[in-house]
Chain A
């Protein structure tokens, strides 16, 4: 019996679902859609051959697609989905690769992957929805610059809190 450090196809597919959502969300913008699609394909290859760098490359290209669509003026709600999809797909892809390295192809891992997928989705989407609601409530009253300051401040504090 062999021990293969690559994921089963069905498990790898789970990691690609959010990438699919992101690509659909990006469909409105030509550049974003192309980058998104390329990123999703690279990510799929990375997960299949169990390579963390390739997964990150795919997730990165997908994310650049999100940036492109955002610069071109996509709607905030759509963009929240696209950004969340890119991040969740990337982290789930990493999770699947890590599982394949530790446990190999034969081990049953589906429930672990689903749990990771679900918790990452909740974390990104809930934050995104808070952002959306705040944006709707504050539209026109809060300067964008203030929001940017707040975000930078929060991110920096988060970094500082990391050990």
Chain B
């Protein structure tokens, strides 16, 4: 995408060079009155020359139609980095069915249809309780009701693209989006346990769309929160580029001269020839442009570098032009740490900067747990005309990190909820002994505590008997946080991210289980190994909280390495005590999560999943992601895994209570 500026060479354009030299020589000789052109050009000759100019002008100006402007595309640092919005890839395909070239549109359509077919088959498989292979055969055979709209999706009608482009430009939905949306709604209707908001009403879709979209210049938006698994490579090298924003203006100058000559020959007079000098001036100004020499000093200050989670932190950036040249057009984007989001102000600034001059701007970020390191500041400097752009990365002095660790003493006060604990942690056994719930009565044996003697029986029958209760044993629970790459998902790139909710859930579950007397351990599905042996007590609570706050497995940026099961899984299985159960916090946004959890469950470690819901139903892709997630939940429940579906608008406690009613009912 980026290329360096070549040294200009007049020999690159031999025709223009020859025409230019000949034109200037002829013009000067004509002015000097030397009749080199003599006899003075006949009218037809001039007419032909002017017509040629007009034609050439039109041709050159028309290059503008196909031309793209090449400019730096800084990521959306305002949003959290390293998270994806589920469903963005389908939304991207749907957009490509409108905005791409012809082949690209056809491929995108095929991809949309294929994707819908796949999900249709897995929905059918769950609803009819048949294997997925059989279900996809039946979908291919046209059995699925959704097929009606899928067929129409397959082919592009003539002129449809133009209509769709106009539609999307005014904020309406394209025809493919409508058809796909209808298909997804049909799927959602038959998917068990899923209620989606009504289609196409949510204003949030536009936000997500802009976030992940390809912008109008055709350069891809290197956004932080892009599609499922998209990478935004950060070239650290300085880049100098021609923006190409003046393409075609030469044509305007040629047109002005050509039309001006016609006007001079006619009765319009030579004023257009004079006016064309102004356009030539603009062209000259763009051509003469050289990339500015950028030398900057940047300082960054934060009002506190050890905030509490949720606290707002003011960041102030000061930029000084330490070079000798005037920077006519300087754009600055601060390297907001990927784990933080901007809640007020903008980390971006554009200005003109004289040598020695200083500008200052500030913005506000919201602190989340973890250690957050600022990235270098991106600067884009252009010459006054904007024909060249120099992109640089400047390391700022001053604040480099924001460290946010929850205050452990304060967090000890977090209210715990006994119900959840009893369900997920404390186990009522069928062994008779000490306890609360009545089990049976047996003959008194010496040494039985007096409190358990059945005094009623002593009074009525005169014989001693001892009451027995269901013995309640402390359970051994390992809280597992799904911190694999696909688990770093969020419902909106501008909002709180789901990894944060997973950590919050893990923290509160561990606290309440410990309060109920269970032994609690901590582990992560992550390329980073994380393991805390199950233990009881307040020390363990502190240990777990410190791990959740600072362990690299739970970092704010999603891991680049994949988590392929075998070695780390085997190690985790070896560490797990035989009687341990798992409470897993996972958004369930990929199929591998389901396999993983089913396998643990089947191997004798009962699994409960607390799943923060990252789907919103704001766009067609997100609605499809919601359908897929509901299918995964169904499949898990069928294998006996307990699933707590935790939507973003309810407190965890409410979600747990709902789930509990489901389990006891």
Whole-angstrom distance between the alpha carbons of A77 and B215 in the complex?
A: 40
Given contacts A67-B272, A145-B261, contact A153 B331 (CB under 8 A): no
- The answer to whether A67 and B6 touch across the interface, beta carbons within 8 angstroms, is no
List which B434-489 residues lie within 8 A (CB) of chain A. Answer: none
- The answer to whether A156 and B270 touch across the interface, beta carbons within 8 angstroms, is no
Which residue of A4, A50, A128 contacts B216 across the interface (Cβ within 8 Å)?
A: A50
* Residues from chain A with Cβ under 8 Å of B61 in the complex: 60
Which residue of B24, B269, B287 contacts A162 across the interface (Cβ within 8 Å)?
A: B287
Name which residue of chain A comes closest to B386, CB basis.
A95
Q: Tell yes or no: A41 within 8 A of B by CB.
A: no
- The answer to whether B281 and A128 touch across the interface, beta carbons within 8 angstroms, is yes
- The answer to whether B30 and A159 touch across the interface, beta carbons within 8 angstroms, is no
Name which residue of chain A comes closest to B343, CB basis.
A1
- The answer to whether A102 and B74 touch across the interface, beta carbons within 8 angstroms, is yes
Closest 8 CB pairs of A and B: A127-B281, A153-B23, A131-B277, A70-B272, A156-B20, A150-B27, A146-B30, A128-B278
- The answer to whether B282 and A120 touch across the interface, beta carbons within 8 angstroms, is yes
* Residues from chain A with Cβ under 8 Å of B8 in the complex: 161-163
* Residues from chain A with Cβ under 8 Å of B494 in the complex: 1-3
Which residue of A56, A94, A157 contacts B17 across the interface (Cβ within 8 Å)?
A: A157
- The answer to whether A156 and B23 touch across the interface, beta carbons within 8 angstroms, is yes
Q: Tell yes or no: B654 within 8 A of A by CB.
A: no
Name which residue of chain A comes closest to B68, CB basis.
A52
Whole-angstrom distance between the alpha carbons of A143 and B41 in the complex?
A: 11
List which B312-360 residues lie within 8 A (CB) of chain A. Answer: 328-331, 333, 341-346, 348-352
Whole-angstrom distance between the alpha carbons of A103 and B76 in the complex?
A: 9
* Residues from chain A with Cβ under 8 Å of B64 in the complex: 56, 60
Whole-angstrom distance between the alpha carbons of A37 and B270 in the complex?
A: 24
* Residues from chain B with Cβ under 8 Å of A73 in the complex: 263, 267-269, 271
**A and B contact pairs by CB, cutoff 8 A, 21 listed:** A1-B342, A70-B260, A72-B268, A88-B282, A102-B348, A103-B333, A109-B349, A119-B384, A119-B385, A124-B281, A124-B285, A127-B280, A145-B37, A148-B261, A148-B264, A151-B277, A152-B19, A153-B24, A154-B284, A160-B12, A162-B287
Given contacts A101-B73, A101-B217, contact A163 B271 (CB under 8 A): no
Which residue of B6, B7, B26, B76 contacts A3 across the interface (Cβ within 8 Å)?
A: B76
* Residues from chain A with Cβ under 8 Å of B566 in the complex: none
List which A75-121 residues lie within 8 A (CB) of chain B. Answer: 75-76, 78-80, 82-84, 87-88, 91, 94-95, 97-99, 101-104, 106-109, 111-116, 119-120
Interface range on chain A: under 10, 10 to 19, 20 to 34, or 35 or more? 35 or more
* Residues from chain B with Cβ under 8 Å of A115 in the complex: 328-329, 351-352, 384
Q: Tell yes or no: B418 within 8 A of A by CB.
A: no
- The answer to whether A124 and B361 touch across the interface, beta carbons within 8 angstroms, is no
Whole-angstrom distance between the alpha carbons of A119 and B282 in the complex?
A: 10
Shortest CB distance B243–A (Å): 8
- The answer to whether B30 and A70 touch across the interface, beta carbons within 8 angstroms, is no
Whole-angstrom distance between the alpha carbons of A143 and B352 in the complex?
A: 43
A-side interface mostly: helix
- The answer to whether B73 and A102 touch across the interface, beta carbons within 8 angstroms, is yes
- The answer to whether B283 and A155 touch across the interface, beta carbons within 8 angstroms, is yes
Q: Tell yes or no: B22 within 8 A of A by CB.
A: yes
- The answer to whether A120 and B69 touch across the interface, beta carbons within 8 angstroms, is no
- The answer to whether A111 and B351 touch across the interface, beta carbons within 8 angstroms, is yes
Q: 1/0 contact trace for B271-298 toward A, CB 8 Å?
A: 1111111111111110100000000000
Besides the contacts A1-B342, A120-B285, what 10 more A-B pairs have beta carbons closer than 8 Å? A60-B64, A70-B268, A73-B267, A76-B270, A80-B277, A82-B275, A123-B385, A128-B275, A131-B275, A157-B20
Shortest CB distance A103–B (Å): 4
Shortest CB distance B73–A (Å): 7
Whole-angstrom distance between the alpha carbons of A127 and B281 in the complex?
A: 5
Q: Tell yes or no: A30 within 8 A of B by CB.
A: no
* Residues from chain A with Cβ under 8 Å of B211 in the complex: 3
Q: Tell yes or no: B13 within 8 A of A by CB.
A: yes
Q: Which residues of A contact B (CB under 8 A)?
A: 1-5, 49-53, 56, 60, 63, 66-67, 70-76, 78-80, 82-84, 87-88, 91, 94-95, 97-99, 101-104, 106-109, 111-116, 119-120, 123-128, 130-132, 134-135, 138, 142-163
Whole-angstrom distance between the alpha carbons of A94 and B6 in the complex?
A: 24
- The answer to whether A79 and B333 touch across the interface, beta carbons within 8 angstroms, is no
Whole-angstrom distance between the alpha carbons of A80 and B272 in the complex?
A: 8
Whole-angstrom distance between the alpha carbons of A107 and B217 in the complex?
A: 20
Shortest CB distance A132–B (Å): 6
Whole-angstrom distance between the alpha carbons of A154 and B249 in the complex?
A: 14
Given contacts A101-B71, A115-B328, contact A148 B282 (CB under 8 A): no
Give the residue among B259, B272, B380 with the most A Cβ atoms within 10 A. Answer: B272
Q: 1/0 contact trace for B10-48 toward A, CB 8 Å?
A: 101100110111111111101100000100110000100
Q: Tell yes or no: B79 within 8 A of A by CB.
A: yes
Given contacts A127-B280, A130-B277, A144-B273, contact A112 B329 (CB under 8 A): yes
- The answer to whether B73 and A150 touch across the interface, beta carbons within 8 angstroms, is no
Shortest CB distance A134–B (Å): 8
- The answer to whether B351 and A112 touch across the interface, beta carbons within 8 angstroms, is yes
User: Which of B250-258, B508-516, B641-649 lies at the interface with chain A?
Assistant: B250-258
Given contacts A116-B384, A124-B281, contact A71 B23 (CB under 8 A): no
* Residues from chain B with Cβ under 8 Å of A113 in the complex: 350
* Residues from chain A with Cβ under 8 Å of B13 in the complex: 159-160, 162
Whole-angstrom distance between the alpha carbons of A109 and B333 in the complex?
A: 12
Whole-angstrom distance between the alpha carbons of A160 and B11 in the complex?
A: 7
- The answer to whether B277 and A102 touch across the interface, beta carbons within 8 angstroms, is no
Shortest CB distance A91–B (Å): 7
